[in-house]
Structure 1
Amino acid sequence: MKFDFIPGESPSYFESLRHDAIISELPVAGTTVRQAQIDYLEAAEHEFSKDDAEILLEENFWYAPDDLEKFSRGEDLSDQSFALRFPWDLLKLNEILVKQIDTDFILAKVYDGAQNEGFLYAGEGTKILPGVFIEGSVIIGENCKIGPNCYIRGNTFIGDNCHIGQSVEIKNSLIMNNTNVGHLSYIGDSILGEKVNLGAGTVSSNLRHDGTNHRTEFHGNMIDTGRRKFGVVIGDGVHTGINTSFYPGRKLYPGVTTRPGDIVQKDLKV
């Protein structure tokens, strides 16, 4: 597998999510990228040590265990191994990892009237209120409040100390710690950083009318994300006004705010 890296002096393509991001330390599927790679290698019983995993991650490349022997022989890798160059690559990795859940592990308080059809990890101190419907594989961290009347669809990861409000739908997304999604909102195929607060009625679009892949701008270049469904990347500390709407594939850089009723057609920076 060959990758067409963008020329230049290695600009940080994760800057729309977090200033000075260390990619291997970013949260994904209830852990970090680094720890997930180590855990994957150990579970596959490969003769690779933690030091080997650290070396692999130096280039911000995710290696599926089944590809390690191919790598050592110089063969092409599968699409389960890929460079972590852009935020949507982190979303792809989250999908792969969350999808691996094959049992429930629930320390949360699940109220009567909440339903789970799939596999759920839910941490201590979390409350899943009446009317919540969870479908597919989902990971929810500690001390969260979900609901009432939410629809959470796989493969979604919600970090610690998050609030997903009344009648919110979350689909195939990665939501980091201390983030709030206000009531009557929809977030699909998206990444939300830490300490984000979405006002009530905030909605992401994730599908082009022509059904083609989403493209997005980075450092003056339009990049094909390779994703037919892709919502929004919202950086750390972003606050949105009520009824904010996002065109698909847009990015709100850390610290951005929107006004009530804003329609985000282009990337926003402070």
Structure 2
Amino acid sequence: MPLFNTRAIEDFPIGNILLRDHHAALTGEGLAAGSRGHFRTHPHAWLTAEDVALLTSEVTTLVDDRSTPLAWFGDVPNVSKSVVAKTSFLIVHPWDLLRANEQYVGTLSEKKIEGDIHPNAVIEGTIHLGPGSRILPGVFIEGNVVIGANCKIGPNCYIRGSTSIGDKCHVGNAVEIKNSILLSGTNVGHLSYVGDSVLGEKVNFGAGTVTSNLRHDGKNHRTEVDGSLVDTGRRKFGCIVGDGVHTGINTSIYPGRKLWAGTSTRPGEVVQRDITGNA
């Protein structure tokens, strides 16, 4: 699976914070009180403070709807003393990252601005902007967005929540990014649309690259995993793009398609099937 074959799930950023560091933050907030024993987590779990707060000395284990332990007090989980999570879940597939990112970025309430925002940019929502990053004239940000360090955003682009953009990224002229994750070093420079998608590190989308994210019949997207079609549970779902992928100009990508690390497309190519690099 793209992205997960180049990094461990716990090393994937959600809102530009590694999943493992989200777990550490929960512990740091005192949710794992010493009187209740050591707080432990499944390394691939997305956890919310709301769910972890359900754990007590009597209810020691948080599980998902399949009874998979997500977090617990003590050395081992005790499913006989468990509670089912309301908003936490296990990250299994790359599109689960979008769900976690939506929960985290969508609930940000305090701005954190360390870069520069041009007076002719419009920000409607909560933004985290890293040091050395610049938001240029004509940029419209709608909803909560996290942008890393040393990024160039704009001019004249549209970024919609809940989007996370890593360090040293470029989102350029006439580009729209919606509810997506862009890892560090990635460029979407010109005339492109990226919706409900995850792009790995050092990806370059050629001018006019467009992702589709909606089926004509409005049903959930399915995507191939190990030779079988899997329901993603998402009505809006674009693409999963591995590290170092380059697309040619005017590439069109069908919904739910996956491009493995290091692959590329030709100018004007229509991506109807996953590109694994094995052909």
TM-score by length of 1: 0.89
* Code of the aligned partner of 1:140: I
Contact 1:41 1:65 (C-alpha < 8 Å) held by counterparts: no
Q: Map residues 106-145 of structure 1 onto 2, 5 A cutoff.
A: 106-145=113-152
* Code of the aligned partner of 1:37: H
Question: Does 2:30 match 1:22?
Answer: no
The residue number in structure 1 matching 2:190 is: 183
Q: Judging changes above 3 Å, is the alpha-carbon distance between structure 1 residues 212 and 113 closer, same or farther for their aligned structure 2 residues?
A: same
Q: Judging changes above 3 Å, is the alpha-carbon distance between structure 1 residues 48 and 232 closer, same or farther for their aligned structure 2 residues?
A: farther
Q: Deviations over 1:31-80 (max 9, x none)?
A: 1011112223434x31258x956x4133x1223233232626322221x1
Q: Judging changes above 3 Å, is the alpha-carbon distance between structure 1 residues 195 and 48 closer, same or farther for their aligned structure 2 residues?
A: farther
The residue number in structure 2 matching 1:84 is: 91
Q: Map residues 59-70 of structure 1 onto 2, 5 A cutoff.
A: 60-68=44-52, 69=55
Question: Does 2:64 match 1:56?
Answer: no
Residue range with higher mean Cα deviation, 17-26 or 144-153 = 17-26
Q: Which has the larger radius of gyration?
A: 2
Question: Does 2:43 match 1:36?
Answer: no
CA–CA distance in structure 2, aligned partners of residues 93 and 48 of structure 1: 25
Q: Deviations over 1:173-214 (max 9, x none)?
A: 000000000210000100000010000000001111111100
Aligned-pair RMSD on alpha carbons? Answer: 1.6
Q: Judging changes above 3 Å, is the alpha-carbon distance between structure 1 residues 225 and 48 closer, same or farther for their aligned structure 2 residues?
A: farther
CA–CA distance in structure 2, aligned partners of residues 191 and 160 of structure 1: 15
Unaligned runs of 5+ in 2: 63-71, 73-80
The residue number in structure 1 matching 2:76 is: none
Q: Secondary structure at the match of 1:181?
A: strand
Q: Secondary structure at the match of 2:258?
A: strand
Unaligned runs of 5+ in 1: 1-14
Q: For this pair of structures, how many residues does the alignment match?
A: 251
> Which has the larger share of strand?
2
Residue range with higher mean Cα deviation, 125-134 or 104-113 = 104-113
CA–CA distance in structure 1, aligned partners of residues 33 and 236 of structure 2: 35
The residue number in structure 2 matching 1:171 is: 178
* Code of the aligned partner of 2:150: N
